[in-house]
Amino acid sequence: MHGTELTKEPRGAKLRQRVARAFGPAGVFFEGFLEHPVMVGSIIPSSRFTIKRVLDRVKWNECKLFVEYGPGVGTFCQPVLDRLPPDGELIVIDTNPLYIDYLKRTITDSRFHAVLGSAENVEQIVRAFGHDHADYVLSGLPFSTLPDGVGPEIAAATYRVVRSGGAFLTYQFSTVARDLTARHFERIETGFEWINIPPCLLCWGWKN
């Protein structure tokens, strides 16, 4: 193999990155999808209608810590920060360094913390920021395509980290997240948002 052959892929990757980032957040989101399609639920960020419906059930005056799994380019981040009280905090967790780097560069709110890691470790991450529990956890992770055993572990860890009276919020294109949530959380509410690409199933799992 010639030395020039070794550089073809990196050059192509750099060109793809420049093109994607030229399109702003949508480009970065699409680039992340191309790199890790199994870990990104859709190639298009959630609609404002989905965001509003998912977050409308949250009691924001009682929320001190909100956690999000798989924030992507921050589609939910600013709406959450806009609703959080001044002393609240938002921790987002993603395994894709592309998204974490983008969020750290673009969101300067002191209440915001972007963590490169796995949602399975949410308890340790929450404790690292000085909290015992989260009030609410939001997830857009594609539970139906996660490696075997990862989805159930995330659901179990989420139940442990959410305080009594708090909730696990999910928006999905299959029923897997809802079914996993129902294994642990005592009260389940569901909804459906048609104005989204594709339409998605919403679920709120409440911890009594």
pLDDT digits (tens, 9 = 90+) for 7-22: 344 554 454 455 445 4
Confidence of residue 55 (pLDDT cuts 50, 70, 90): very high
Instruction: Give the angle subtended at the CA of 66 by the CAs of 80 and 85, to the nearest 5°.
Output: 60
Check whether domain 37-206 has CATH 1.10.1060.10, yes or no: no
Q: In this prediction, what percent of the chain has a pLDDT beyond 70?
A: 79
Q: What are the sequence ranges of the domains in the chain?
A: 37-206
Sign of the CA dihedral 121, 51, 89, 98?
A: positive
3-class DSSP state of 18: helix
pLDDT in tens, 169-190: 999 989 999 999 999 999 999 9
pLDDT exceeds cutoff 90 at 25: no
DSSP string for residues in 102-133: HHHHH---TTEEEEES-GGGHHHHHHHTT-S-
Confidence of residue 31 (pLDDT cuts 50, 70, 90): low
Confidence of residue 28 (pLDDT cuts 50, 70, 90): low
pLDDT exceeds cutoff 80 at 35: no
DSSP 8-state symbol, 158: H
Report H helices in the chain: 3-6, 8-22, 24-35, 48-55, 77-83, 97-106, 122-128, 150-161, 176-184
Sign of the CA dihedral 111, 113, 118, 120?
A: negative
Average pLDDT value for residue range 99-114: 95
Partners of 188 in the β-ladder? 205
pLDDT exceeds cutoff 80 at 39: no
